[in-house]
Structures are given as C-alpha cells and as structure tokens.
Amino acid sequence: MFISSAAISLFCGSSVLTSCSDNEPSPTDDTSQFVTLTDVVPDAILEIRYFGTYNFVGSRIDGYEEPTALLTKKAAEALKAVSDDVRAKGYRLKIFDAYRPQKAVDYFVRWAADLSATEMKPYFYPDLDKSVLFEQEYIMEKSGHTRGSTVDLTLFDMKSEKEVDMGGTFDWFGPESHPDFCGNPDTGEYTGDNSKSPAGRSITATQFENRMILRKAMLAHGFKPLDSEWWHFTLNNEPFPDTYFTFPVKQLTK
C-alpha cells in the first residue's frame, strides 16, 4: 500500500503516532551517500588491516564485519581519478583503510588505555612507550576516517607485482612515518635528515621519492595530506565535515 509523504507527516504529527521519529535511523547510520570503493575503483587492491590481526592492536577491530572498503561517493570518485593517474605510471592503489566506524575508534581508545596490551609493540611502535599514545595523538577519540572521506593507502607496482617500498610500514607510530622525514614534501627534495628518529632509523632517496609519487597524485586530485602519516589523505571539501558515522564496514547493497 502506498502512503504519501504528506500522510506520513500528518500521522507522525498526531498524538496517535508519537514514536515515528524514534523509529527513523540516526543520520550517522545513513549509508546512502557511501559506496563500496571497488565498485568505483575496481582495480584497487584491498588489504583491510583492521579486519585481520596484523595491525597495531593484534586483533580484528570492532565494526569491521567484512574485508571491504567504503567511502563517500565524492571521495571515491576523486580516488578513481588518482587510480587512473598512477595506473598510467605503472601502479595500482592498495587500500589499508577507508571509512572507519566510531565503534572502531572507541575500540582503539579502550586498547590504548590498557597499558598491558603490547603484543604488537615490536612491529608498530618499538621506540615508544604505550603511555604516550594519547599525548602524542597517535590515538584520539575522533578520527577523520569516521566522516567517510579519508583513506589510508599505498602503491602497488604492476611490473614487479609487489607493494612499493615506502621505507616503513602502514601504522608505524613514530616520526619515520612523517611525510617530511628525510626530505621536503613541498619540494620533493630528499635531504636524508633523520635526526627526528629516536633510534637513528632512515629511509633512502628512492623510498622518499616513492612516498612523493603517491602524495603528488593524491594532492593533484583533491586530497590533502596529514603531517604525521605518509599514507593518510582526506578529501578537500569533504561532504560530511561534522558527521561521525556509526554503521559497520561491510559490503553495501546496490
């Protein structure tokens, strides 16, 4: 049976039906402006770290129900332009994370507060005491990912059939992950200055240049970088700058 929108408004405004608004989904659960990323960028390679156990926590993260990547339509379309750009140079995009539900961020906060949970410290933050993760803003109560237009990614070399060597792993907590580590990201100049590394780590000129290839392509197609992570980019003029979504990561129905 068809009921007009006017009729719905009438019923919901009456004293008979006072709970219509209570039954409506929260705006933060609305997936209508989101897409499954591979529907827009079909050649993207997915390695959704928070669906698996190889991440800084060491377990699957709450809210990741399927190993897929979601983004707002606007961000996905911009990423398609990036993909076309780097593909012409012999690369594909490899995605580690995209939209991240608030439930996952809450999980990270609880994990960071438990100073005894350090199983993955040797792999992701060997130079840091876990107690500084909040202070140094590696873990925060809100994430740009939750607004749906932020993506964590790297490049995949189609010729070698390997992930491009960026001189460091995704989600490494430390200055070695900063875009300006050993170079100037504004000019693309490699300096070799590794003075910020507490353990004297470094990256090569080639590794720095690889980071710049990704960065230049992302900036050219409307994304802005983060000054602490070479892999992290957010769409300029993102469509939901103040909305933190809560729906889980799983394949969206078309």
Catalytic residue among 24, 135, 163, 229: 229
Tell me, what amino acid is at 247? F
Residue 229 bears catalytic tag: yes
Tell me, what amino acid is at 107? Y
| CA–CA separation, 177 and 180 (whole Å) | 8
Number of helices (H), then strands (E), belonging to the chain: the values are 7, 10
CA 25 to mean position of chain CA atoms: 25
| CA–CA separation, 116 and 92 (whole Å) | 38
Residues 183, 184, 187: CA angle, nearest 5 degrees = 130
Comparing CA positions, the residue from 77, 79, 45, 56 lying closest to residue 164 is 45
Phi and psi at 151, nearest 5°, equal: -140, 145
Q: Which residues are known to be catalytic?
A: 229
